[in-house]
């Protein structure tokens, strides 16, 4: 079967459907994206789904419940118990699984594209979008490789969803979990529901041409720039576990081009440091064929030109900024997470469905924060919800009293907070000024909605 061509567009048009399904026991196969039997409506094919179900033995929570009722969206499907157990075998200390599945899928897609191209040089980039669509369904490296070896055409459905990439190298479909914090300042898994988002046909357009001439040497080497330090460090453990697990399973299945895949791990830091640039320099000097990361869109924007300019594929498990959709990337940038245009529409639908009439938006001043604030505001206004205040803050600030005072003065029915790990400080200030989750509705996003938020809050960080 020939692949359908897909072409880049300036913006995605989105269809949303609510999947109200409490998280329950996961007994489907590792590649399944079906929700539990409690779902009132079956979700469409979904993607980009970090599981935030807490692993055993998380840090004991405070009893205050100051965060109880806070809702947040994050890319999410129901992970199987089998996959979670594999991740915990790699890192028994995992507290969440955020973006671990996307990292696993990024590595697997790269490996399959190299197998199909029979080349670890730049030529395999042309195969990546097609690996995710329009062929024979398979849900593991071994199963997909068998199809390729037989001369077939694969459609890899991974642990994070069916992926289904557009020519811009990003998912056309997504599933978002709506996570709710309980009285222990941790995510109440039983309260989780799902919203599905899907780009309309106009987003399904031909691939960006691959530019460059980098040759391969027959051995696939994959590097990573993932957060060991910085404002998204809480995402590092599951992402590194997904990276290691994928390479382990690929090598157990015989490797790529007849040789074991080599993984080289590196820190991305955050946008306030030069860590990512230093790591990329080191990885390029080691002749990597792909770099998985960064988690932060802002960090990726600081290194994307260097990576793609070297003829190397960059594949992020967690970038969501809409800025990256039409970035001049030489056809070498891909991401397993859906763009924020989908999350913005999901947030607008969620808040409107909750009966909220007015919202104040507080967002960090980077590509992620301002882009998501803009798409969420448009979706809210389209849904008839008034945005009464928008405060864009310096993500390096130590205090947020002025921003929270402006929110208080606007007297909204709800606050939408778009932040990274500074969310704990902002929420503390909101609570002190009477606009916390116990006073008005508060909504959050994937940049901070995890059990790490509760741990930081309880520890006074």
With beta carbons less than 8 A apart as the criterion, state whether 210 and 252 touch.
no
Pick from 20, 65, 24: which is nearest to 42 by CA?
A: 20
Residues 330 and 367 in one domain: no
Last residue of a domain, one of 323, 340, 357: 340
Last residue of a domain, one of 340, 371, 386: 340
For residue 190, count CB atoms less than 10 angstroms from its CB and return exposed for 0-12, middle for 13-18, buried for 19 or more. exposed
Are 166 and 215 found together in one domain?
A: yes
- 209 and 309 housed in the same domain: yes
Residue 335 and residue 357 in one domain: no
Q: Are 357 and 413 in contact (CB under 8 A)?
A: yes
Q: Which residue has the tokens 């995510």?
A: 187
**Buried b or exposed e, range 267-296, using 16+ CB within 10 angstroms:** bbbbbeeebbbebbeebbeeebbbbbbbbb
**Are 439 and 411 contained in the same domain?**
yes
461 residues of the chain, pLDDT tens digit each: 334 333 333 333 344 443 333 333 333 333 333 222 223 333 333 333 334 444 444 334 344 799 999 999 998 888 899 999 999 999 999 988 989 999 999 999 999 999 999 999 999 999 999 999 999 999 999 999 999 999 999 999 999 988 999 999 999 998 898 999 999 999 998 999 888 888 877 888 899 999 999 999 999 999 999 999 999 999 999 999 999 999 999 999 999 999 999 999 999 999 999 999 999 999 999 999 999 999 999 999 999 999 999 999 999 999 999 899 999 999 999 999 999 889 999 999 999 999 999 999 999 999 999 999 999 999 999 999 999 999 999 988 999 999 999 999 999 999 999 999 999 999 999 999 999 999 999 999 999 999 999 999 999 99
DSSP 123: G
CATH code for the domain of 358: 3.40.50.2300
Same domain? For 306 and 363 the reply is no
**Residue 169 near residue 333 (C-beta atoms within 8 A):** yes
**Residue range(s) defining the domain that contains residue 439:** 341-458
Yes or no: say if 217 and 231 are a contact pair by the CB < 8 Å rule: no
Contacts of 418 (CB under 8 A, 6+ apart): 361, 362, 363, 364, 368, 369, 372, 373, 376, 444, 445, 447
- Number of domains the chain is built from: 2
Q: Are residues 356 and 443 in the same domain?
A: yes
**Could you tell me if 353 and 215 lie in one domain?**
no
Same domain for 61 and 35: yes
């Amino acid at each position: 079967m020939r692949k359908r061509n897909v072409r880049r567009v300036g913006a995605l048009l989105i269809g949303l459907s609510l999947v109200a399904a409490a998280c329950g026991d996961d007994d489907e196969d590792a590649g399944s994206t079906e929700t539990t039997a409690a779902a009132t409506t079956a979700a469409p094919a979904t993607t980009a789904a970090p599981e935030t179900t807490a692993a055993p033995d998380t840090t004991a929570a405070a009893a205050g419940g100051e965060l109880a009722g806070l809702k947040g969206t994050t890319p999410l499907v129901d992970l199987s118990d089998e996959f979670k157990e594999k991740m915990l075998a790699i890192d028994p200390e995992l507290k969440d699984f955020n973006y671990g599945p996307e990292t696993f899928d990024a590595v697997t897609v790269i490996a399959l594209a190299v197998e199909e191209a029979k080349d670890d040089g730049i030529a395999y980039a042309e195969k990546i979008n097609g690996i995710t669509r329009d062929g024979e369904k398979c849900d593991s490296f071994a199963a997909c490789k068998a199809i390729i070896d037989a001369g077939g055409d694969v459609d890899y459905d991974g642990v994070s969803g069916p992926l289904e990439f557009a020519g811009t190298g990003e998912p056309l479909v997504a599933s978002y979990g709506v996570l709710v914090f309980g009285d222990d300042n941790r995510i109440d898994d039983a309260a989780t529901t799902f919203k599905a988002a899907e780009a309309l046909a106009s987003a399904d357009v031909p691939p960006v041409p691959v530019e460059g001439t980098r040759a391969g040497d027959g051995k696939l080497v994959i590097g990573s720039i993932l957060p060991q330090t910085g404002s998204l460090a809480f995402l590092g453990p599951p992402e590194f576990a997904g990276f290691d697990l994928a390479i382990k399973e690929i090598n157990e299945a015989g490797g790529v081009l007849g040789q074991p895949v080599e993984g080289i791990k590196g820190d991305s830091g955050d946008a306030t440091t030069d860590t990512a640039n230093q790591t990329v320099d080191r990885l390029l000097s080691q002749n990597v064929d792909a770099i998985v990361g960064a988690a932060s869109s802002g960090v990726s924007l600081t290194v994307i030109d260097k990576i793609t300019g070297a003829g190397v594929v960059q594949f992020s498990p967690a970038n969501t900024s809409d800025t990256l959709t039409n970035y001049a990337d030489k056809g070498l940038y891909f991401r397993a997470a859906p763009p924020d245009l989908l999350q913005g529409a999901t947030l607008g639908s969620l808040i409107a469905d909750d009966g909220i009439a007015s919202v104040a938006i507080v967002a960090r001043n980077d590509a992620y924060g301002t882009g998501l604030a803009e798409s969420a505001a448009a979706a809210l206004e389209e849904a008839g919800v008034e945005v009464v205040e928008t405060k864009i803050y310096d993500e390096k600030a130590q205090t947020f009293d002025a921003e929270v005072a402006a929110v208080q003065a606007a007297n909204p029915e709800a606050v939408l907070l778009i932040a990274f790990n500074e969310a704990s400080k902002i929420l503390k200030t909101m609570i002190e000024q009477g606009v916390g989750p116990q006073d008005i509705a508060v909504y959050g996003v994937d940049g901070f909605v995890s059990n790490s938020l509760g741990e930081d809050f309880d520890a006074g960080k």
